[in-house]
A and B are shown apart, each in its own frame.
Chain A
């Protein structure tokens, strides 16, 4: 250990007091013994002595004038030149401002918490009543138009068609049965696009499963289509095959959730579809008879053209529900921003309160 490391601040206090003769006898004796053995300690003592001597060389100051008091000076009101009264007022104002800042901060945070609670309880349909929400949830998904619904009713049930088509395929395996090449889509799958590559190279994107059912139905009932009557949606009126379940699932896979603002109207339309679907199912017996009469025929091109026209006429799915848009309008950033503002105001208020209290306490002391 070096000589400098042997000296600590307490040693310098002893040296300083030793210079001024302010040590007790025991302390002085102990220090002198150390000074005799530690040359660096002795060097530091000499350095401090020189410093004190230098300070002593400062010339004594003489007052530039007499500062005696006069009668006029003692009779004037007491003036505290270094503690103006307005500083006290300022400090009290700071206290009040800090309390107000904290109150505002709490209000910001409480307001935002209330908004978040009301928002979470509103769930998926903040602008709907409970009855309307339930109705929309139970109703089938949105249909494009009434005309398209009518067109859909003319086609047969895909499962039934598929089964019938398979039977026909077994009977006529060599024929190019369009139905065999077309897979019945899973009822639960929501494939948005289905390429129909079996219609002689036409690879139109079929957007809806319903359309696939329509194609199957059209191929199954091709024999019912009157020659020259290409737009024969209404021709197969006697074969209203679309099942209620089929219609519901079809539209459920295609359409998004109904819009909140048009929910009532949309639910009514879907109810109409359900009713129509029920009517169709009542005619299943007639349908089966019609299917038996269906014979496979090489009219895939005709059916493809019909389907493409139907595809074009089907409007796009409706927009996203209004409630989701409304959710986006209540930007999370606002709540975060309000919370941050509240926290910031609280912190500023607390700091201002501490500073004001400290200054007040110091002025009073």
Chain B
């Protein structure tokens, strides 16, 4: 992790000097993280792709404002703010992308089937993934972001506080309420839950 941070600082400095290739190294390193956060927050692939591209473009343009520290948290903060903006926009003018209406989109959650899984097991896992994603999308925006950063991206409370620009106490409060809400929501899908995950 420390080496990665040192590498990030070097690449950042080279990017500030106008070396686009150096910045693209950072893009390749963090694009899965940014895309995952965007998709878990928005729930559709098209919005997630747009937000991911805008996140890196904005990060390159605002690179002078980065004063060191956790580049991952700084980059995720840009992505979360763009997600909040898009969520507000969607609430005012709901839109549905044609790509999301196709059955192929549901396969984004489909796990990589192993040779040991039966088709029924694969389908059940897919339904469970969709149920969990559905319960996450039902959360309030601030609770949803904290839950995704903590339980999906496994970020620390400190990183979450830097990303969302709130106090650690607020992170704890939002996270506990988000988990309670998801638990109550998943109790409606009890038939999909494996035995070891019975709530």
Contacts and interface: CB of A to CB of B under 8 A. Distances in A.
B96 interface: no
Nearest to A59: B111
Interface stretch (A47-55, A198-206, A254-262): A47-55
Contacts of A12: 176-177, 180
Contacts of A83: 85
A56 B28 contact: no
A16 B175 contact: yes
A132 B57 CA distance: 86
Given A57-B132, A83-B85, A20 B176 contact: no
Of the four ranges (under 10, 10 to 19, 20 to 34, 35 or more), the interface on chain A belongs to 35 or more
B27 A68 contact: yes
Nearest to A51: B183
A13 interface: yes
B199 A51 contact: yes
A74 B20 contact: yes
A73 B54 CA distance: 11
A22 B154 CA distance: 13
Contact of A67 (B27, B112, B136, B186): B27
B145 interface: no
A55 B132 contact: yes
Interface string A76-111: 001001110000000000000000000000000000
Contacts of A60: 32, 36
A9 B54 CA distance: 38
Nearest to A13: B176
B163 interface: no
A58 interface: yes
A61 interface: yes
B157 A78 contact: no
A333 interface: no
Contacts of A15: 176
A230 to B, nearest CB: 94
A33 interface: no
A62 B39 CA distance: 10
Interface in A25-74: 47-48, 50-71, 73-74
B122 interface: no
Contacts of A67: 27, 31, 34-35, 49, 52-53, 56
29 contacts: A9-B177, A12-B177, A13-B176, A15-B176, A17-B176, A22-B172, A48-B179, A50-B199, A51-B179, A55-B132, A56-B152, A58-B132, A59-B111, A59-B112, A59-B129, A61-B35, A63-B35, A66-B28, A66-B31, A67-B27, A67-B35, A68-B28, A69-B56, A69-B57, A73-B57, A74-B20, A81-B50, A82-B86, A83-B85
Query: 6 shortest A-B CB distances, which residue pairs?
Result: A61-B36, A16-B176, A82-B85, A68-B24, A55-B151, A63-B35
Given A13-B176, A63-B32, 12 more contacts: A12-B180, A16-B176, A20-B157, A22-B172, A48-B180, A50-B183, A54-B197, A62-B35, A63-B31, A66-B27, A68-B27, A82-B89
